[in-house]
Structures are given as structure tokens and as C-alpha cells.
Structure 1
Amino acid sequence: MKGHCVVTGANRGIGLSFVRQLLERGEHVIASCRQPGKAVALNTLTGEFPGRLHVLPLDVANEKSRAELVRELPLVLGKDGRIDLLINNAGVLHSGERFGHVDAAILEDSFRINAIGPFMLGQALAPLLADGARIANLGSVMGSIARCSEFRSPSYCSSKAAQNMLTVELAHALRARGIVVLALHPGWVQTEMGGDSATVAIDDSARGLLQVIDTSTIEDSGHFLDWLGKPLPW
């Protein structure tokens, strides 16, 4: 029997590709996004994979929205169902930031969505995780302090660096249960966020990331890896 997977930010880009590829290999998927009614491509998949895809609303930055998802999940999972994989994919990049004009509200929004949201969701879903489950936090090499060589997108970079630290903290908190928690860089992907010059196809990135997740062990927990499994500097 295949497992249950939760994917956030599932309405487009890498999130949508994760959902499709997980369904194609036989998993049961709970896909979340802020406005399920407008997620046309995602809702189309429910007809292609009857009974194995549930689409639920989630604003990862909103405490009430996270709590509502936690309340609804047991109804989807069934009496003894557990989550085998949580992919925290939802994120935001505020473009056009210039030094001298960086807005505190933009910084706060980035931290709520990119760092605080994934950690709080992982903490809230911990009782529903199977022992030996996987949590994949989709980060970015832009969150690497060691790789920072210019002033660029400070709200995104700093919030992804914070996400990395919270990934490590979550890994320590769940290690005793054999739960692997990873910080993963998807590459420069051809998404709306990645832009026209990006070099990695969406499906290739999702496929590579799933391979990294599937082959990870408890010794990998708390590590920062790219979509090919290569370690990245903090």
C-alpha cells in the first residue's frame, strides 16, 4: 500500500509537478493551496486519479488556516492513517527590492511564509506523521550565507536562511522518531519565480528532488542539499 503525502503550494510550478508525479507512482496526495477553487490544473488531476487526490485550502502564513488543515486531515487520512511525506513547497519572492527602500512589511511577510509557516506546519502535523516519515522544506541556494556575494532580494534570502535553521531545529526535534527533515534547493527552475532564463525544467527538478527524498536516511536529516543530492554550504 502506498503512503499519504501532503504538498503545500500545490497549484502550480514545482508543487503541481510533485503532486502529479506522486499520483503517477500510486501515492495518496493531499494538495493544498490558498484558493483551491482557482487551481484549475490541480483540480483536473482529481478526475484523472479518483479517490487519491484531495485538495484543501491552506495559507501557510496564517495560524487559523494551518489549524483548519490540521483539523481536516484526519478525515482524509482515515482512522489509523498517517502522513508519510510532507513537502513544504509554498513560498514567496518579493522582487525589486533596493537598498534604502527595503520595506519592513515585505521582510515580515517573507519570514511568515518562507520560514515560520513551514516550521509551524511541521510542528502542528508532527502527531500525524508516521515514524520514519520525511519532511522536505523547499529552500534555495539564495538562503546560503556562505554563497551570498551581492545585495540581492534581502527578504527572500534572509527568510530562506531562517528556514534552513528551522529545518535543522525540526530535524533534531523529530530525530528520535526516525523522521528525516531536509532543506532542499530545487535548482534554478523554469517557474514564474525562476524567470525566463532559468536552466532546470520543472518536472526534472521535482523528479530529482523526489529521488533525493526517497533515498535519504536519518543520517541525512538536517542537511542542505540540491535537487541532485549535492550538499550545499550554509
Structure 2
Amino acid sequence: MDTRPRTSLVTGANRGLGLEFIRRLLARGDHAIAACREPGRASALNALAGEHPGRLHVLPLDVADARSRAALAAELPLVLGDGGRIDLLLNNAGVLHSGERFGTLGEATLEHSFRINAMGPLLLTQALAPLLADGARVANLSSQLGSIAGCGRFGTPSYNISKAAQNMATALLAHALAERGIVVVALHPGWVQTGMGGEQATETVGESATGLLGVIDGLDAGDSGRFLDWRGEALAW
């Protein structure tokens, strides 16, 4: 039986839901790798690293940048140690541009959203695939706003479109990694009280993180490629 501690990697881990994931992963005994764009300014993460010596590593990552993804993939073997593997990759980093209106949509905003929300998780998972344990879990933080079937209005188009693309990337990755028993899912965290979700959101960061980690822990091979919310309920594509 494999008795080593689980190792989890979370992107966008310096604040909000990503930071809460790190707190809860550490609390349950995981070794955690927190990736964010500016580790030197991630005061909460660095404080956690001091409280959990040897169990939390804070590493730089811009998911939209190819060189940054490659640098992370090159550094991780040193962090993981001989034979170490990642048991959970939580692609949490994302961006939502507000104020978009039909008639004034800009190419730069759409491209930026796509690079972070869709291309980033896909290419990072590809880059880290050799470091994933057989039977690992890859959780892509999606949104119900990426559901084409659920589209009921015109709003946040660059976010919605990029999350719909991320959902397809999830389905494709599920097929690409199936032979190794790696389960890949798209997860809607709810409307969460973060900087992105706003104060009017209905779920706290703690409620969402607890629910999502529970869903991830309960996944089996038959769940790979599914689109689920933080309660484990299926969402329409």
C-alpha cells in the first residue's frame, strides 16, 4: 500500500479560493505546492509556509506564459524529490473581465481570457503530465457560465467563452490521460464570495472549498470528463 502523503498542486493560490484550498490541503496532511505569479508578494502563502515547514512550497507561475509553465515543470522534480509525484492538480487560476458590452468587445480581452482560462490549464496539465501519479486527479475550476445549454443572457462574454473552451479541454484531457487512470473533471465552485465573485455571492470560500475537495475525493474512473458543481451535481454542457 502507498502510504506516502498526498501531494497537491494549486494554481492561482495566493488569494481567494486558491488560498483556501492550500489551507485545507495542509490541514488534512497533504504536501502542497502553491503556484502564483508573484510569490514574493504572497504574504499569506509565505506565512503558511513558515507554519508548515517542508510541507508547503510556493513557486512562481503565470499560466498564460509558456516559459513560466516550462520553468515550473523543470523545478518540480527538485521539490517532489526522488520518485515523487503529484496526486492532485487543481487548475484554479482564472480571470474575469467586467464591463464588456456587445458592440465594444475587444480582441485583447477575449484573447487574454482564453489564454488564462482555457489554454493555460490545458497546456499546464500537458506539461506536468509526466509528474502526475497514475490514478491522480486533475480538477479544472470552471463555471456554470461556461455551460452553453445554460446560457440565458448576454454577459461576461470573454469569461463564458473561455470557460466553455476549458470544458472541452477537460473532456479531451480525460481521454488523453485515461490509460493511466487519471481522472479529469470540470468543477463549478458556486457563486463564491471572492474578489471575482463579489460580496453578493451566495457561497463562502470555506463552503465552496470544502464541497469541492469532497467531490474530488469521491471521484472514480467513471467520473472522468464530467462537469460537476461543488455539491457533486452534474451540470449541462
The two structures share one fold, judged by TM-score above 0.5: yes
For residues 123 and 57 of structure 1, the distance between their equivalents in structure 2, rounded to whole angstroms, comes to: 18
Q: In the TM superposition, what is the alpha-carbon distance from 1:2 to its structure 2 partner? A: 1.3
Q: Which residue of 1 aligns with 2:150?
A: 147
- Any unmatched runs of 5+ in structure 1? none
Q: Residues 49-81 of structure 1: CA distance to partner in whole angstroms, max 9, x if unpaired?
A: 111000000000000000000000000000100
* 2:180 alignment counterpart: 177
Offset at residue 3 of structure 1 (A): 1.2
Cα distance in 1 for partners of 2:193, 2:142 equals 16
Please state how far the C-alpha of 1:130 moved relative to its aligned partner.
Answer: 0.5
> 1: distance between equivalents of 2:208 and 2:46?
22
What's the TM-score, normalizing by structure 1? 0.99
Kindly state the Cα deviation for residue 17 of structure 1 after the two structures are TM-superposed. 0.4
- Whether 2:31 is the aligned partner of 1:23: answer no
Report whether the alignment pairs 1:199 with 2:202.
Answer: yes
Runs (4+) off by over 6 Å: none
Residue 55 of structure 1 is aligned with which of 55, 58, 69?
Answer: 58
Counterpart check, 1:212 vs 2:218: no
Q: State how many pairs are aligned.
A: 234
Q: What runs of 5+ residues in structure 2 fail to find an aligned partner?
A: none
Identity %: 68
2:124 corresponds in structure 1 to: 121
Displacement of 1:107 in angstroms is 0.2
**Other structure's SS at 2:34 match:** strand
CA RMSD of aligned residues (A): 0.5
Give the distance between the partners of 1:191 and 1:99, measured in 2 at CA: 26
**Counterpart residue number, 2:40:** 37
**Equivalent of residue 79 in structure 1, options 74, 79, 82:** 82
User: TM-score when scaled to structure 2?
Assistant: 0.98
Q: Post-superposition shift, 1:196?
A: 1.3
